[in-house]
Amino acid sequence: MMILGTTSPARKRQWGSERRTAPLPTIHATPSDRKVTLGRLAIIATVIFWVAYVISTIVRQFIESGNTFRFTMEAVSYLIVVTFLSFSALMYLVARQGALERFRSHVRVPRAELDRHFASHTGSMTVLVPSYAEEPQVVRQTLWSAALQEYPSLRVVLLLDDPPFPTEPAIAARLDETRALAAGIMAALRAPSERFDTAQREFAATPESGWVDNEDVRTLSSHYGWAALWLERMAEDEDNVDHVDRFFVDQVLGGLAEEFRLIAAALLAAANEGSAPSRARMTELYRRLAWTFSAEVRTFERKLYASVSHEANKAMNLNSYIGLMGASYRHEGTPNGTVLRRVEDSEVGDLDVPDSEYLLTLDADSLLLRDYCLRLVHLLEQPENARVAVTQTPYSSFRGAGTRIERLAGATTDLQHILHQGMSHFGATFWVGANAVIRKRALEDIVETEQVGGFEIRRYVQDRTVIEDTESSIDLGTHGWTLVNYPERLSYSATPPDFGSLIVQRRRWANGGLLILPKLWRQMAERKRNGQRISRIELALRLNYMASIAWASFGLVFLLAYPYDSRLLSPLVLFAALPYFLAMGSDLRSAGYRFSDVLRIYGFNLILLPVNLAGVLKSLQQAITGKKIPFARTPKVKNRTAAPVPYVVAPYLIIAFSVFTLWRDIVEQNWGNAAFAAFNAVLATWATLSYIGVLNSIVDVWVGMTGWLFVDKPRRSVAKDDQPTEAPIDWRAVLYHGHPGADLPDALRSDHRSVGASEAASTNGQVAA
């Protein structure tokens, strides 16, 4: 009934990790009037204290005579740094306030209204799951969470981006197991799908004028009971190694089973009372069972085909499949590999890629709760949302993290969920790539087409930067589309469990925002020409979202490294930041964390400072050179990822420099700077020991310093007696390229002699290039 992935031993649980495994409620708690009022006062207090600091300290120092040029430059730079940091704190409070307003006004659509809506709205949806070198069990759970979504016409496609012909046995075995996932899920769904399709047809075949009797209700109740039992048995057979497995079992499978069992009990109670739902409602309930188990699950590997882009990033993996949708193709063998040729409607192709009205992009380490598709599409299909291109529920973290760093990274993820909800309140939504329902018609408006090697390449999602979802959000806004976050918790995504994988994720997040800023200005100009109103709050939130990592990183470096004159320090600076920290602590406590995690997050950001700086500098490098930054995927494995040496050593240097600064300021009696240095030294030390660890640091440094000593021995092909011989002419390459195969670019070289034997492509497209 199910496909079992290979199991990995559970990661050893650290002291100080999270014990709570139950996720937060799907519906956000309604904020009290007191909380909303305090949020408004926090915004006002931040502005007042900043203005008071500027007047009482900076302006007063300029009015006083005798200031040197050095002091003037210090005052200007310090004011700039404080202003930018205060602006980011203010934007946190503003976005948070918007979230509170949304949570207070949100009313959940009743289930019966969803069923009534989709009785007449049956648009198709394709779920795209891009995957690269990930553990089969991780991908499998994601595919199941998508396949069990209730939707009229659902197609789930695993976009497998691994090299298609690995030589290492372990990698080849993992790839084969991943390739088998789709077929295994389809086989497991066959029994419930056939049962409920038959039951639905049998009920529909009864005369519509006839009454629904108690026996009909009992029959439907038994079907729901059977579905619940099927899910429960599947849950019992699942691996339950870590907190993500537990979430999959309890929330994805168990949550759906519990809901089905509740419906079965309600129907049985109705039958016992001699009552029955209306025939229309019975039809909807039959339809729900049929839709839940009717998903089609497939796998697509773009690297099997020479006619689609092979650029190494998630955006082009998505674009390659989206660009093929709505047509059929036949396989054609060439010296470069298999290419896809579009066939006419009357012809039968080897590869059929149906079109769909909606796309759902889903990262391979994310899970969806059961109502995700219905509720988000219902939102898109309301008349007032006709120009909404993308809707999503910003992902939450899995609870029960086994490491301290995963717990704290999860806390920042849950804070970001709140902020993204607030940004929607002010019309400043950004697409967050882990999950999203997209109106395909909107992507057609922003597509860019080019010819590469004689083949058409379409870019729906931009790959110019490594934060492709942010840039696409700007593109959609330029074309008159909007984005909305759905104010519930319906999606969850994995958080990096160790410092090495976290580096990959956060460095990517810090890279690209500055490059997209010019597009934001063009969007604003275009919207003004079209007569659209642009609020200052929306512009400020968007600017902060894209550039705050840059100015916060450089600002923190200045504060850490430069010994500012003590005359520039004032308690008013702390008072301006205090509402931000208090609000964050309140949000953390509401999300099930500790108020003291505010200090841990500060130390956490200190040790991530070099990572953020590296991402920002990479953006500047791309702006100068025009060369794309390689896309680095966050490792989604259960083992620890080694961190690069510079990022391991840098936190210790921050600690050492903070201690040195503390000693220097004590000697010079610069007590304000001394207190700041001591604060940084303590929290950076705590963060380094807790989230990196001395032993892991030693291991990572050793691996980084010695890894270059171990290289793969290159293989050399020689003729008999070690005498080189002239290779025979590759006639296929000559006929295809018009020149000898030896002159081919490296990117197009392949074993052309094997192509002739594989020109008859199989239906799954696995033809050796």
| Contacts of 223 by beta carbon, 8 Å cutoff, 6+ apart | 195, 196, 199, 286, 289
Q: Which of 173-177, 430-434, 715-719 has the highest mean pLDDT?
A: 173-177
pLDDT over threshold 60, residue 715: no
Q: Average pLDDT of 570-595? A: 95
pLDDT over threshold 80, residue 375: yes
Q: Average pLDDT of 44-54? A: 96
Q: Which CA distances in Å does 376 have to 76, 293, 488?
A: 48, 19, 10
Rounded Cα gap, residues 251 and 21, in angstroms: 11
Identify the pLDDT of residue 632.
63
Range with the lowest mean pLDDT among 86-90, 371-375, 685-689, 708-712? 708-712
The pLDDT confidence band at residue 756, using thresholds 50, 70 and 90, is very low
| Contacts of 656 by beta carbon, 8 Å cutoff, 6+ apart | none
Q: Average pLDDT of 607-634? A: 81
The pLDDT confidence band at residue 3, using thresholds 50, 70 and 90, is very low
Identify the pLDDT of residue 746.
40
Q: Average pLDDT of 107-134? A: 92
Identify the pLDDT of residue 418.
96
pLDDT over threshold 70, residue 544: yes
Segment holding 316, helix H or strand E: helix 314-322
Rounded Cα gap, residues 692 and 690, in angstroms: 6
Encoded tokens for 524: 């604003």
Identify the pLDDT of residue 65.
62
Q: Which of 14-18, 156-160, 204-208, 715-719 has the highest mean pLDDT?
A: 156-160
Identify the pLDDT of residue 767.
32
Identify the pLDDT of residue 630.
67
The pLDDT confidence band at residue 743, using thresholds 50, 70 and 90, is very low
The percentage of residues in the chain with a pLDDT greater than 70, rounded to a whole number, is 88
pLDDT over threshold 60, residue 706: yes
Identify the pLDDT of residue 344.
84
Q: Average pLDDT of 680-694? A: 93
pLDDT over threshold 70, residue 741: no
The pLDDT confidence band at residue 728, using thresholds 50, 70 and 90, is low
The answer to whether the Cα torsion of 421, 422, 424, 428 is positive or negative is negative
Range with the lowest mean pLDDT among 16-25, 153-162, 399-408, 488-497? 16-25
Range with the lowest mean pLDDT among 212-221, 351-360, 414-423, 585-594? 212-221
pLDDT over threshold 70, residue 711: no
The pLDDT confidence band at residue 71, using thresholds 50, 70 and 90, is confident
pLDDT over threshold 70, residue 11: no
Identify the pLDDT of residue 359.
97
pLDDT over threshold 80, residue 172: yes
Q: Average pLDDT of 502-512? A: 84
The letter for the amino acid at 756 is G
Identify the pLDDT of residue 288.
95
The pLDDT confidence band at residue 303, using thresholds 50, 70 and 90, is very high
Q: Average pLDDT of 31-48? A: 97
The percentage of residues in the chain with a pLDDT greater than 90, rounded to a whole number, is 63
Count the Cβ atoms, other than its own, within 10 Å of residue 322: 25
The secondary structure of 556-589, three-state, reads: HHHHHHCCCCHHHCCHHHHHHHHHHHHHHHHHHH
Eight-state DSSP code of residue 305: B
Identify the pLDDT of residue 9.
47
Count the Cβ atoms, other than its own, within 10 Å of residue 215: 10
Cβ(421)–Cβ(487) under 8 Å?
Answer: yes
pLDDT over threshold 60, residue 77: yes
Q: Average pLDDT of 458-482? A: 88
Instruction: Identify the three-state secondary structure at position 484.
Output: strand
Q: What is the CA radius of gyration of the chain?
A: 29
Identify the pLDDT of residue 753.
34
CA atoms within 13 A on the CB side of 294: 20
The pLDDT confidence band at residue 577, using thresholds 50, 70 and 90, is very high
Instruction: Identify the three-state secondary structure at position 36.
Output: helix
| Contacts of 252 by beta carbon, 8 Å cutoff, 6+ apart | 141, 144, 145, 148, 367, 368, 369, 370
Identify the pLDDT of residue 755.
33
Q: Which CA distances in Å does 83 have to 104, 561, 598?
A: 31, 18, 21
pLDDT over threshold 80, residue 760: no
Identify the pLDDT of residue 212.
79
Identify the pLDDT of residue 587.
97
Identify the pLDDT of residue 727.
58
Range with the lowest mean pLDDT among 351-355, 697-701, 726-730? 726-730
Q: Average pLDDT of 502-507? A: 87
pLDDT over threshold 50, residue 2: no
- Selection from 383, 314, 254 nearest residue 131 by Cα: 314
- For all residues of the chain together, what is the average pLDDT? 87
Q: Average pLDDT of 147-172? A: 95
Identify the pLDDT of residue 95.
97
- Selection from 533, 527, 516 nearest residue 465 by Cα: 516
Cβ(597)–Cβ(104) under 8 Å?
Answer: no
Q: Average pLDDT of 81-105? A: 96
Range with the lowest mean pLDDT among 17-31, 289-303, 614-628? 614-628
Identify the pLDDT of residue 740.
54
Tens-place pLDDT, residues 226-257: 999 999 999 999 988 889 999 999 999 999 99
Determine the angle formed by the axes of helices 597-607 and 571-590, rounding to 10 degrees. Answer: 110
Number of H helices, E strands in the chain: 25, 15
- Selection from 591, 399, 542, 418 nearest residue 488 by Cα: 418
The residue among 674 and 90 whose pLDDT is bigger is 90
Q: Average pLDDT of 735-740? A: 61
The residue among 66 and 531 whose pLDDT is bigger is 531
Identify the pLDDT of residue 729.
67
Rounded Cα gap, residues 151 and 155, in angstroms: 10
pLDDT over threshold 80, residue 35: yes
| Contacts of 579 by beta carbon, 8 Å cutoff, 6+ apart | 41, 42, 43, 45, 46, 89, 93
